[in-house]
Amino acid sequence: MDFNQIFRERTKKFSIAIIRAFSILPYSDDVSIIRKQVIRSSTSVAANYRAVSRARSEKEKFAKICIVVEEIDETQLWPEIIEELEYLSPEKILHLKTECEELVKVMTTYKFKLSQT
């Protein structure tokens, strides 16, 4: 498996994990807004990363990876908020926060490398 295939699968699995983790929260207006935002941003990471691997040019690839970095950064915010509001215990979202941090590092590095070409 190559880098693109690995991260296509990894970003998809990450968005599924986000959906599952946040779906267990009981309904309230504030939780509903947070859930919608984190699901939107995490699935955008996966969708836009797929677009990176299908880009028709280096400029298009760079534009898409910029979106991926922006969306993964936003995704990183929501578990932090959920944890600070004490809607989920730190243990229940530790794996999400860890994976999100790793994806931020990888995608930021990838973006930097593309900007150098």
Structure tokens at 113: 């490398």
CA distances from 28 to 32, 40, 66, 80 (A): 6, 18, 33, 18
In the chain the domains, ranked by start, together with CATH numbers, are 3-115 (1.20.1440.60)
Both structure tokens of 22: 């946040």
The per-residue pLDDT of the chain, averaged, comes to 95
**Per-residue pLDDT reduced to its tens digit, 27-70:** 999 999 999 999 999 999 999 999 998 999 999 999 999 999 99
- Could you tell me the maximum CA-CA distance found in the chain, to the nearest angstrom? 47
pLDDT of residue 1: 67
Whether residue 92 has pLDDT greater than 80 = yes
Convert 3-18 into a string of H (helix), E (strand) and C (coil): HHHHHHHHHHHHHHHH
Name which of 44, 53, 51, 46 is nearest 5 in CA terms.
Answer: 53
